[in-house]
Amino acid sequence: MTNKVKQKLTLDRLATYQIKVPGKMDVSQTDWAVGLKVTFENDGHDPPVTILAGEFDQAALHGLLRRLYSLGLPIISVLWVQGGSVKKET
């Protein structure tokens, strides 16, 4: 029998999130993207999508969402990756 520990989502605990926004963002020159893994989806038929992934507490997640809003980027989705581990990159 395996003993699985479920991660409890709280306001102050780090959790892994994936945020999708439309378009192909160039975040290489931005200081706010430090620690984010940035990837792109493009199936050839639809416009590209940028995926920002990393570990945040709730305050940092809200800050990132506000930053994206200030850039005029609509949010396609925000996904909590339960028990997820996203390698941090710049």
Note if the pTM is more than 0.85.
Answer: no
Enumerate the domain spans of the chain: 12-37
Half-sphere exposure at residue 36, Cβ-oriented, CA atoms within 13 angstroms: 24
Query: Which tokens is 74 given?
Result: 């609509």
SS3 at position 64:
helix
- Higher per-residue pLDDT: 26 or 76: 76
Tokens 């989502």, residue? 9
Instruction: Give the per-residue pLDDT at 18.
Output: 96
Tens digits of per-residue pLDDT, 2-56? 555 566 777 778 999 999 999 998 887 788 888 899 999 988 888 999 999 999 9
